[in-house]
Amino acid sequence: MRKVLSRAVAVLAATLMVSLLLPVAPASAHGQLATSTPLTGTVVREPLTQLALYFTEKPAANAHFTISGPNGSRVDNGWSFGEPKRLDKPVTEYFMVNGVFEPRLYHTGFPAMVTVAHWPTKGRYTASYLSVASDGEAVRGNVTFDYQGPGTAAPAGWSAPTAGPDPALVAQAESEGSTNPAASGSPVAPTGAPASEPAGATEEQSDGGFPAWLIPALIVVVVSAIVLLAARRRPAARGASPAGRRPAGSAGKNGAAARKSTNPARKTGNRAGGPARRGRR
């Protein structure tokens, strides 16, 4: 019984630790990268003049984009806003509103068109981006792909850029929107007025949310129920086995006593019959 309880307590403790470490909802950064051309991990065989990075909202005006070649040198030549397009697969983002995650579907991608100056050699290229979403959260990441196309020459008078991101952008991204009232995903609007949506996000849909603490609570309830059931069934099973063995033992003793009681009768009969047979002779 003690072993069962100790194991159950260990399982419960491990489940609680896992539930606390795992995210309670698939929350993601707002204004995230939805798709790209080329896609990360793919092989490019034609010398593209531009890379397209599609976000769920328009990138910041001072967003920073770079393209680095296999040797680490940059081959980008500026960027510009592109024409929005409908995404093949909607992207879900989660906003925390009054302690509940509210999912929203984004159907439109807003591209940043990054110009490629030239393709110096074959190998792995990396497109990096840094921006800040409308709610103040940093949007950063990389798109890596393998280029196996022909090499191209750099434009006349072009030199590899060395400028970094705007210091104001870096400061804003590092703060993660801590001073922005909308950074938590809860839109701020005057009383009676509809909440403002992220810039460019005109086709999102809202679904019903769920409390952030619901998943760990359900896990604890289920594991506790299993522990209680195991603790109740174990003593009953153990208590039934001795009771079943005692009647068998007592029956065995009674049978032995009965056999013993018959033996003297047989002996007495033999003794009584002995003299009678002698008398007849």
The pLDDT tens digits of the residues spanning 87-143 come to 999 998 887 788 888 888 999 999 999 999 999 999 999 999 999 998 888 999 999
**Peptide linkage before 181 cis (omega within 30 of 0):** no
Q: What is the pLDDT of residues 202-228, one digit of tens each?
A: 444 444 444 555 666 677 777 777 777
Question: Rounded to an integer, what distance in angstroms lies between the CA atom of residue 137 and that of residue 178?
Answer: 9
The pLDDT, as a whole number, for residue 168 is 93
**In the structure, what pLDDT confidence band is assigned to residue 26 with cuts at 50, 70 and 90?**
very low
The pLDDT, as a whole number, for residue 64 is 98
Query: Interior CA angle at 131 toward 130 and 134, to 5°?
Result: 160
188 within 8 A of 182, measured Cβ to Cβ: yes
3-state secondary structure of 184: coil
Q: What is the pLDDT of residues 174-189, one digit of tens each?
A: 886 444 443 333 333 3
Look at strands 33-37 and 64-68 and give their pairing: unpaired
Domain boundaries, the chain: 1-23+214-281, 25-212
Residues found in the chain: 281
Q: How many helices (H) and strands (E) does the chain have?
A: 3, 11
119 within 8 A of 152, measured Cβ to Cβ: yes
Question: Rounded to an integer, what distance in angstroms lies between the CA atom of residue 59 and that of residue 34?
Answer: 12
Question: Rounded to an integer, what distance in angstroms lies between the CA atom of residue 1 and that of residue 9?
Answer: 12
3-state secondary structure of 50: strand
Question: Rounded to an integer, what distance in angstroms lies between the CA atom of residue 272 and that of residue 254?
Answer: 28
Question: Rounded to an integer, what distance in angstroms lies between the CA atom of residue 173 and that of residue 138?
Answer: 5
Q: Of 96, 86, 125, which Cα lies nearest the Cα of 203? A: 86
Q: Of 36, 47, 39, 35, which Cα lies nearest the Cα of 147? A: 47
CATH code given to domain 25-212:
2.60.40.1220
86 within 8 A of 110, measured Cβ to Cβ: no
